[in-house]
Amino acid sequence: MNADVIVVGAGLAGLVATHELVKAGRRVLVIDQENRNNLGGQAFWSLGGLFFVDSPEQRRLGIKDSHELALADWMGSAGFDREREDHWPRQWARAYVDFAATEKREYLRELGLKVVPTVGWAERGGGSASGHGNSVPRFHLTWGTGPEVVRIFAEPVLEGEKRGLVNFEFRHQVDDLIVEDGAVVGVRGPCWSRRTSSGARRPREPPWASSSSVPRR
């Protein structure tokens, strides 16, 4: 099983990554320990709440939001206090707030996603950006909730499967990375058989392995 890129997990994050890779013409192997009916993972069962910053919906309701305020809320909630361990989480937080304050809404809209015209206040803070939680409402509810969030990414990914760009391997668990010369070149793990009557899962032997053909840089 070779591919340009291996995506571990067919939840929402995996679908988004695979969608972007298919757009770029890459061959993708998607691996998930569950079956095909669980495509999208927990996102399917969610309310489909989306974090937008200074959106038209917020402005229409008189909610004053900004990139600076959202980032302050995020940092206040995260409480990063370790220089080394929190370096990349801090970078991720900044990148995500940047995305939510700029292209995220339009990116999703172009895929067909719509939100209801109200804004909720999930993870509500105390009205101050110096504490925990959101100091203003930012919870935008998807019209169609979680299943719709999954659909807009699952449909193009499944179309990519028809075109031969995506290959799914369900009931495969990843529990190890294959590293050569300091670079990750593949993944390894057991392939699950059917559940026994007691509910336990028995791996088939030997464990499977898969590698990516992406050139090293």
Q: Is residue 95 part of a domain?
A: yes
Strands 176-180 and 183-192, by their bridges, are antiparallel
Domain identity same for 113 and 168: no
Please count the other Cβ atoms lying within 10 Å of the Cβ belonging to residue 14: 21
pLDDT of the residue at 124:
79
CATH of the domain at 8: 3.50.50.60
Across 40-68, average pLDDT: 97
Q: Give CA–CA dist 9/31, Å, rounded.
A: 6
Domain identity same for 57 and 137: yes
Q: Give CA–CA dist 175/164, Å, rounded.
A: 26
Q: Are 54 and 62 in contact (CB under 8 A)?
A: no
The pTM of the full predicted model, rounded to 2 decimals, is 0.84
Domain identity same for 59 and 92: yes
The tally of CA atoms less than 13 A away on the side-chain side of residue 120 is 13
Across 165-187, average pLDDT: 93
Question: Tokens representing 48?
Answer: 């489909």
Domain identity same for 14 and 84: no
Scan for tokens 């707030």, then name that residue: 97
Strand partners, 169: 31
Domain identity same for 23 and 83: no
Integer Rg of the chain from CA: 20
Q: Is residue 108 part of a domain?
A: yes
Residue ending a domain, among 110, 126, 143, is 143
Please name the helix (run of DSSP H) or strand (run of DSSP E) that holds residue 88, with its range, or none.
helix 87-101
Calculate what percentage of the chain has a pLDDT beyond 90: 78
Domain identity same for 126 and 72: yes
Q: Is residue 217 part of a domain?
A: no
Residue type, 69: L
Q: How confident is the model at residue 62 (pLDDT cuts 50, 70, 90)?
A: very high
- The count of structural domains within the chain is 2
Residue ending a domain, among 111, 143, 175, is 143
Residue ending a domain, among 124, 143, 162, is 143
Domain identity same for 68 and 23: no
| 25 Ramachandran zone, left/alpha/beta (phi>0; psi -120 to 50) | left
Across 5-10, average pLDDT: 96
Domain identity same for 55 and 137: yes
Domain identity same for 156 and 135: no
Q: Quick one: CA dihedral 93, 95, 96, 98, positive or negative?
A: positive
Domain that holds residue 31: 2-43+151-212
Tens digit of each residue's pLDDT (9 = 90 or more) over 202-214: 334 445 556 665 5
Tens digit of each residue's pLDDT (9 = 90 or more) over 85-137: 999 999 999 999 999 999 999 999 999 999 999 999 987 776 655 667 899 99
Q: Give CA–CA dist 82/195, Å, rounded.
A: 43
